[in-house]
C-alpha cells in the first residue's frame, strides 16, 4: 500500500524553542516549502519544487513546529478521492495536519479518522505560497485530535501578511483561551440543512443535538430555505474560478510536457491533455462552459452567493453559533464524478461559499450520535474553537 | 454610396514606474532577457500579486490629467487568453470595474473646427511576456522573455467619436502631450511605450447604424495609425460596395507594404474576478491628494499664456505642449524678457540649436538665466540679432556670461550715428544704382543698402540706426 506521505522531510527535528516546539505537523504538497516537491497532487506540476516558503510554513517553523512531510492529496486538493488526509494523525506520525479546504475536505477528512477538523474564516490565514485552485473559496484547514493544537496553530499562522495583500485589513483575532458559559450561549439548528439526510442520519443528528442540550446550551431552530443552493453556487463559481486559475498550470515550464507535438500550439494542448486527471478535467470543462458559454449563469451564481451570505449573516444574528450535520456520503468504488463529489460535500460547502469558520467535532467514543459541524460568523474563529474545546471537556467529565 | 467611418481607439500606455505592477522587479523590459524576474512575474505556482503603490498613483494621475473620474471602487479580473507569451493563461486586467470612467480630449478637426473626443474608461493591466523567434540551426525556436511580464500598463478606451484619420492623429498627439506633462509615461510609439489599436467600421453617411468593426494593430508611429485607418476605410468601403460582408476580426498593419492583413484570432474569453488582488478603494481624500499633485495641464496653460502673456493661440499651444519648453519659457519671462521675444528666440533659435546638438533643453549649458541675459542685451540694443545668434553659439561651448562674450569678442552693437556716418557715405558712393532705386521708391533696394552698411561695419552696426540715417540722407539728397 502507498505511503501516507508524498514527501518526508529530510530533517529529523525542529530547532529548539518556540510556542509550537515539539509539535509535529504534516502538510500537503500544495503548500510551498522551499526545495520540497510541490505538485499539489497534479501531473501538471510534476517535479516542481517550490522556490520560497509559504507564509504559513515560515510562521510554523519560526514557532518551533516540526514539519514532518507532506501527505498525498487529491489533484489541487479538490475532493478526497486520492487524499490520505488524516491518516498521519491516525498513525500518530503527526500531531496535526494542514489540509486545504475547498469544499469541506478538512472537515470530512477529520470525520473519517474521528478527530477534529477546522476551516478558518476566509481571509484570516495568508494564501501566499499555496498552490490554489478556487481562490475565493479555499482556505488552509487544520486537523488534530486536540482543539488546543488547532488553536495554537491558528494563533501562529493567522493574521496580516505583507506577502498577501488580499487579506482584509481587520482587527486581529485573539486566540487566547476563553470561557464558554452554556447558559449564555445559543446555538441555531438550520432546519433545511437536514433535508438531505436519510432517516437514520436524521436520528443520529438529533442525538448530537441532545448532547448540546445536555451540556446546557439552548438550541433554537433557524431557517435558511435556500441551503441546498450552497452546493450549486459553489459548483458554478468554483468551477469557473478553477478553469481560469488553472490556466497557469501549463505543464510547460514544469510538470509533464507531452511528447510528439508538431508546434507550440499542439504542445500546449497535448500537455494539458495529459496533465489533468479525469475529475479535474471535467471540473475545468464545466468551468470553461460557464465562463465562455453561460457567463450569465456565472453572474447569477455570484449574485445568489451574495444573497446566501446575507441570509447566513441573518442566522448568525439569531444565534451565537450554528450546528450543521456533517455527512460524508463518499461514492463507493469507481472514480468519483463531479456530481458525486458535490453530493459528498453538500453539508460542508456552505462555509466555503460564505467564508465563515466551521469546526468538525467527532462523535463521543461511546456516543450513539454522529459527528457534526459548528459554525459561527466570520472571524469568530477563536470563540468557535473555545466552544469546541468546551464540548470535548464536557465529554471527558469536565465542567 | 458615400460612407463615413466610425473609429474608436484603444491605447496602451506603459507607465514609467520603477518596478513592475505586482512585484518588486525593475521595470526595465529592455534589459538582458529574463534578468528582471521573480516567482510573481514568472507566474509561478503559489506566488501572489501585490499591487504597486507607484503604479496606482501614476495611473491615477494619468486619469485625472485626462479629465477622467477616478472610481471609488475598482478591481482586477483574470482576462483569460491562451498564447505562449502568457503562460499563466490569464492577464490581470480591470475588465468589470475600471480605475476611471469618462474624460475627454479637445482636438481640432480637418476643417479647423474644435471637436471633443470622449474617453469611455481607463483601466490598469499588466503586460505579458515577449516572444523572440529564432533559428537553432534549421529548427525554428521560440524564446520567452519575462522582463516585460508584469510591466504596468494603462489602457485608454475612447468612445467611437473619430470620423477621420486626421482626428485620430490629433488626439494621439494631444494625449501624448498630456500624459507626458503629468509625468506618467513618455508615450513613445517608436519605443513601444504607447501602443494603439484602432477599431474601424463604416456606414452610409448620414445613418446612425452600428456596423461590424475591424480591429487594426501593429502601428509603430502616430503617422502609421492614420495611414492604417485610411487604408482600412477604403478597404472596407470597397468591400461593402462589392457586396461583401465585413466580419469581426483583427488585422495587422504592414508598415512596408502599407496595407492591413488579417491575423489569426487569439482565443479570448470573458473575465473572472481575481480575489488574489484586493479591491482598490480610493477615498475622496486620496483622490484630492492626487489631484493636488497634478501639474497645470497643457490646455489650461495655453489659455493662461494667451491671457497673461499676450501670446497667440498657436504660440501658446506650441509652448505648452512640452512641459520642458513651457517651464523654460516661464523662466525667461521671469527674468524680465518680453513674452513675444522669449517665444520667438526660444522656438526659432534655442530649441533647434539644442536639438542639433542632441541635448535636452533642461540639461543644456544655455540655462534660462544665461539666455535671458543675452536677450536682454538684444532688447536694449547693445547687440543686434546677428550678434545674438553668434553669441548663442558661443554659449554652448563656453562657461562665460553673454556679457563677457560680447565685450571680449567685440560683438557690441554700434548705434552712434557719428561712428556710422562715414561708413554710410562710403556705401552710398559705391552703390549709385541702389541709391537711385531707393529714390524711385523701391523698398528692396533699401534692404540691400542696409545689408551693405552692416557688412561694412563687420555686422556690428545697429540696423535700426542705419535705416534712420539712410532715410534721412537719401531724403535729404532728393
User: Does the pLDDT of residue A247 top 90, yes or no?
Assistant: no
What would the pLDDT profile of B147-187 be if each residue is shown by its tens digit? 999 999 999 999 999 999 999 999 999 999 999 999 999 99
| pLDDT for the residue numbered B267 | 60
Q: Are residues B93 and B201 in the same domain?
A: yes
CATH code, domain with B423: 1.10.10.410
Q: Are residues B125 and B11 in the same domain?
A: yes
The Cα of B145 is separated from the nearest Cα of chain A by a number of Å equal to: 13
Q: Do A248 and B270 touch (CB under 8 A)?
A: no
What would the pLDDT profile of B233-289 be if each residue is shown by its tens digit? 999 999 999 988 888 889 999 989 999 998 866 666 788 999 889 999 999 999 999
Is B48 an 8 Å CB contact of chain A? Answer: yes
Cα–Cα distance, B239 to A398 (Å, whole number) = 87
| pLDDT for the residue numbered A304 | 98
User: Does the pLDDT of residue B68 top 70, yes or no?
Assistant: yes
What would the pLDDT profile of B434-465 be if each residue is shown by its tens digit? 888 888 877 788 888 888 888 888 777 888 88
Does residue B102 contact residue B309 with C-beta atoms inside 8 Å? no
Cα–Cα distance, A8 to B318 (Å, whole number) = 71
Contacts A247 to B, Cβ<8 Å: 78, 80, 82, 88-90
Q: Are residues B274 and B351 in the same domain?
A: no
> How many domains, chain A?
1
- Strand-pair category, B214-217 with B249-254: parallel
Structural domain contains residue A267: no
What would the pLDDT profile of B121-142 be if each residue is shown by its tens digit? 999 999 999 999 999 999 888 8
Give the other-Cβ count within 10 Å of B265's Cβ. Answer: 9
Cα–Cα distance, A311 to B427 (Å, whole number) = 104
Q: Do B44 and A38 touch (CB under 8 A)?
A: no
Instruction: State the residue range of the domain holding B428.
Output: 417-477
Structural domain contains residue A164: yes
Instruction: State the residue range of the domain holding A387.
Output: 5-182+358-395
Query: Mutate which of B21, B46, B92, B144 to test chain A, going by most A C-beta atoms within 10 A?
Result: B46
Q: Do A130 and B46 touch (CB under 8 A)?
A: yes
Q: Nearest Cα to A79, choosing from A323, A246, A278?
A: A278
Structural domain contains residue A23: yes
Contacts B51 to A, Cβ<8 Å: 165
Query: Mutate which of A52, A161, A247, A265 to test chain B, going by most B C-beta atoms within 10 A?
Result: A247
Structural domain contains residue A346: no
Q: Are residues B125 and B191 in the same domain?
A: yes
E strands present in A72-171: 96-101, 116-119, 139-144
DSSP letters, B219-249, are: --SHHHHHHHHHHHHHHHHHHHHTTPPP--E
Q: Are residues B337 and B219 in the same domain?
A: no
The Cα of B160 is separated from the nearest Cα of chain A by a number of Å equal to: 26
pTM: predicted TM-score of the whole model, two decimal places: 0.83
Mean pLDDT of chain B: 91
> How many domains, chain B?
3
The Cα of A136 is separated from the nearest Cα of chain B by a number of Å equal to: 6
| pLDDT for the residue numbered B87 | 85
Domain boundary, last residue among B359, B393, B409: B409
Contacts A54 to B, Cβ<8 Å: 46
Chain A residues contacting B, CB < 8 Å?
32, 38, 40, 45, 48, 50-52, 54, 127-132, 135-136, 163-166, 168, 240-241, 244-250, 252-253, 264, 268, 291-292, 295, 298
Q: Are residues B301 and B171 in the same domain?
A: no
In Å, what is the CA distance from A250 to each residue of A223, A282, B166, B172? Answer: 44, 17, 44, 38
| pLDDT for the residue numbered A234 | 98
Pick the range with the lowest mean pLDDT from A55-64, A98-107, B360-369: B360-369
Cα–Cα distance, B232 to A88 (Å, whole number) = 67
- Predicted confidence band at A1 (pLDDT cuts at 50, 70, 90)? very low
DSSP structural state of residue B109: -
Q: Are residues B152 and B204 in the same domain?
A: yes
Q: Which of A50, A51, A292 sits opposite B269 (nearest CB)?
A: A292
Cα–Cα distance, B109 to B116 (Å, whole number) = 9
Structural domain contains residue B290: no
In Å, what is the CA distance from A136 to each residue of A240, A305, A344, B175? Answer: 11, 11, 20, 38
What would the pLDDT profile of A279-297 be if each residue is shown by its tens digit? 999 999 999 999 999 999 9
Q: Are residues B108 and B192 in the same domain?
A: yes
Contacts A264 to B, Cβ<8 Å: 84, 142
Q: What percent of chain B has pLDDT over 70?
A: 98
Long-range contacts of B315-318 (CB under 8 A, 24+ apart): B315/B343, B315/B347, B318/B347
| pLDDT for the residue numbered B439 | 82
| pLDDT for the residue numbered A259 | 87
- Predicted confidence band at B92 (pLDDT cuts at 50, 70, 90)? very high
CATH code, domain with A365: 3.90.1300.10
- Predicted confidence band at B478 (pLDDT cuts at 50, 70, 90)? very low
What would the pLDDT profile of B287-296 be if each residue is shown by its tens digit? 999 999 998 8
First-to-final CA distance of chain B: 71
Nearest CA in chain B to A137: B275
Contacts A129 to B, Cβ<8 Å: 46
| pLDDT for the residue numbered B21 | 97
User: Does the pLDDT of residue A334 top 80, yes or no?
Assistant: no
Contacts A241 to B, Cβ<8 Å: 272
Query: Which are the contacts of B477, defined by CB distance < 8 A and separation ≥ 6?
Result: B435, B439
Structural domain contains residue B73: yes
Query: Mutate which of B45, B75, B78 to test chain A, going by most A C-beta atoms within 10 A?
Result: B45
- Predicted confidence band at A333 (pLDDT cuts at 50, 70, 90)? low
Cα–Cα distance, B410 to B387 (Å, whole number) = 9
- Predicted confidence band at A41 (pLDDT cuts at 50, 70, 90)? very high
Q: Are residues B349 and B230 in the same domain?
A: no
The Cα of A174 is separated from the nearest Cα of chain B by a number of Å equal to: 24
Amino acid at each position: 500500500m502507498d505511503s501516507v506521505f508524498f514527501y518526508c522531510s529530510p530533517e529529523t527535528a525542529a530547532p529548539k524553542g518556540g510556542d509550537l516546539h515539539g509539535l509535529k505537523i504534516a502538510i500537503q504538497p500544495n503548500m510551498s516549502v522551499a526545495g520540497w516537491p510541490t505538485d499539489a497532487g497534479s501531473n501538471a506540476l510534476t517535479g516542481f519544487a517550490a522556490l520560497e516558503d509559504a507564509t504559513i510554513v515560515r510562521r510554523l517553523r519560526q514557532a518551533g513546529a516540526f514539519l514532518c512531510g507532506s501527505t498525498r492529496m487529491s489533484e489541487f486538493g479538490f475532493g478526497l478521492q486520492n487524499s490520505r488526509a488524516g491518516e498521519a494523525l491516525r498513525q500518530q506520525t503527526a500531531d496535526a495536519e494542514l489540509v486545504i479546504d475547498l469544499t469541506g475536505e478538512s472537515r470530512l477528512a477529520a470525520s473519517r479518522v474521528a478527530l477534529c477538523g477546522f476551516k478558518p474564516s476566509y481571509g484570516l490565514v495568508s494564501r501566499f505560497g499555496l498552490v490554489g485552485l478556487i481562490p475565493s473559496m479555499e482556505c488552509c484547514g487544520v486537523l488534530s485530535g486536540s482543539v488546543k493544537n488547532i488553536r495554537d496553530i491558528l494563533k501562529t499562522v493567522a493574521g496580516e501578511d505583507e506577502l498577501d495583500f488580499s487579506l482584509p485589513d481587520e482587527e486581529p483575532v485573539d486566540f487566547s483561551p476563553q470561557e464558554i458559559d452554556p447558559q449564555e450561549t445559543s446555538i441555531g439548528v438550520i432546519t433545511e440543512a437536514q433535508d438531505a439526510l436519510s432517516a437514520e442520519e436524521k436520528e443520529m443528528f438529533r442525538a448530537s443535538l441532545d448532547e448540546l442540550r445536555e451540556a446546557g446550551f439552548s438550541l433554537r431552530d433557524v431557517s435558511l430555505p435556500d441551503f441546498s443552493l450552497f452546493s450549486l453556487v459553489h459548483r458554478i463559481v468554483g468551477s469557473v474560478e478553477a478553469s481560469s486559475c488553472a490556466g497557469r498550470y501549463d505543464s510547460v515550464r514544469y510538470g509533464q510536457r507531452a511528447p510528439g507535438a508538431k508546434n507550440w500550439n499542439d504542445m500546449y494542448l497535448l500537455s494539458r491533455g495529459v496533465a489533468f486527471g479525469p475529475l479535474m478535467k471535467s471540473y475545468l470543462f464545466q468551468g470553461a462552459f460557464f465562463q465562455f458559454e453561460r457567463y450569465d449563469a456565472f453572474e447569477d451564481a455570484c449574485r445568489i452567493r451574495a444573497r446566501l451570505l446575507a441570509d447566513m449573516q441573518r442566522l448568525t444574528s439569531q444565534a451565537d453559533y450554528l450546528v450543521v450535520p456533517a455527512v460524508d456520503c463518499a461514492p463507493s468504488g469507481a472514480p468519483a464524478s463531479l456530481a458525486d463529489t458535490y453530493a459528498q460535500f453538500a453539508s460542508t460547502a456552505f462555509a466555503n461559499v460564505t467564508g465563515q469558520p466551521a469546526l468538525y467535532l467527532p462523535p463521543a467514543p461511546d456516543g450513539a450520535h454522529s459527528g457534526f459541524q459548528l459554525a459561527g460568523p466570520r472571524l469568530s474563529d477563536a470563540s468557535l474553537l473555545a466552544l469546541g474545546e468546551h464540548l470535548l471537556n464536557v465529554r471527558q467529565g469536565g465542567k | 454610396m458615400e460612407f463615413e467611418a466610425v473609429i474608436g481607439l484603444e491605447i496602451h500606455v506603459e507607465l514609467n514606474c520603477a518596478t513592475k505592477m505586482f512585484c518588486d522587479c525593475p521595470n526595465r523590459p529592455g534589459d538582458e532577457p529574463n534578468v528582471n524576474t521573480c516567482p510573481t512575474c514568472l507566474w509561478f505556482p503559489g506566488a501572489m500579486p501585490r499591487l504597486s503603490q507607484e503604479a496606482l498613483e501614476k495611473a491615477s494621475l494619468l486619469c485625472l490629467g485626462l479629465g477622467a473620474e477616478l472610481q471609488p471602487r475598482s478591481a482586477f479580473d483574470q482576462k483569460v487568453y491562451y498564447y505562449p507569451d502568457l503562460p499563466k493563461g490569464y492577464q490581470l486586467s480591470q475588465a468589470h470595474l475600471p480605475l476611471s470612467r469618462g474624460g475627454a480630449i479637445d482636438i481640432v478637426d480637418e476643417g479647423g473646427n474644435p471637436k471633443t473626443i470622449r474617453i469611455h474608461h481607463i483601466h490598469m493591466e499588466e503586460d505579458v511576456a515577449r516572444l523572440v523567434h529564432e533559428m537553432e540551426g534549421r529548427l525554428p525556436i521560440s524564446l520567452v522573455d519575462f522582463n516585460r511580464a508584469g510591466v504596468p500598463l494603462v489602457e485608454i478606451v475612447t468612445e467611437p467619436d473619430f470620423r477621420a484619420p486626421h482626428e485620430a492623429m490629433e488626439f494621439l498627439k494631444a494625449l501624448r502631450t498630456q500624459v507626458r506633462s503629468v509625468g506618467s509615461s513618455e508615450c513613445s510609439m517608436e519605443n513601444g511605450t504607447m501602443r494603439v489599436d484602432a477599431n474601424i467600421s463604416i456606414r452610409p453617411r448620414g445613418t446612425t447604424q452600428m456596423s461590424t468593426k475591424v480591429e487594426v494593430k501593429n502601428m509603430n508611429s502616430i503617422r502609421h495609425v492614420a495611414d492604417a485607418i485610411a487604408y482600412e476605410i477604403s478597404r472596407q468601403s470597397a468591400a461593402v460596395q462589392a457586396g461583401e460582408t465585413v466580419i469581426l476580426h483583427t488585422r495587422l498593419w504592414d508598415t512596408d507594404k502599407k496595407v492591413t492583413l488579417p491575423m489569426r484570432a487569439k482565443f479570448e474569453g470573458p473575465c473572472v474576478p481575481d480575489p488574489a488582488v484586493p479591491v482598490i478603494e480610493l477615498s475622496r481624500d486620496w483622490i484630492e491628494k492626487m489631484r493636488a499633485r497634478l501639474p497645470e495641464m497643457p490646455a489650461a496653460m495655453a489659455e493662461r499664456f494667451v491671457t497673461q502673456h499676450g501670446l497667440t493661440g498657436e504660440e501658446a499651444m506650441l509652448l505648452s505642449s512640452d512641459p520642458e519648453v513651457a517651464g523654460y519659457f516661464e523662466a525667461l519671462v521671469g527674468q524680465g524678457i518680453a513674452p513675444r521675444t522669449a517665444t520667438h528666440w526660444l522656438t526659432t533659435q534655442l530649441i533647434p540649436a539644442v536639438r542639433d546638438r542632441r541635448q535636452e533643453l533642461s540639461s543644456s549649458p544655455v540655462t534660462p538665466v544665461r539666455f535671458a541675459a543675452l536677450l536682454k542685451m538684444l532688447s536694449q540694443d547693445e547687440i543686434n540679432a546677428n550678434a545674438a545668434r553668434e553669441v548663442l553659439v558661443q554659449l554652448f561651448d563656453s562657461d562665460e556670461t553673454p556679457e563677457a562674450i560680447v565685450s571680449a569678442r567685440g560683438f557690441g552693437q554700434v548705434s552712434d550715428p557719428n561712428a556710422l556716418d562715414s561708413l554710410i557715405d562710403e556705401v552710398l558712393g559705391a552703390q549709385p544704382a541702389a541709391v537711385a532705386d531707393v529714390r524711385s521708391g523701391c523698398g528692396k533696394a533699401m534692404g540691400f543698402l542696409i545689408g551693405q552698411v552692416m557688412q561694412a561695419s563687420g555686422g556690428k552696426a545697429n540696423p535700426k540706426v542705419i535705416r534712420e540715417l539712410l532715410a534721412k540722407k537719401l531724403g535729404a539728397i532728393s
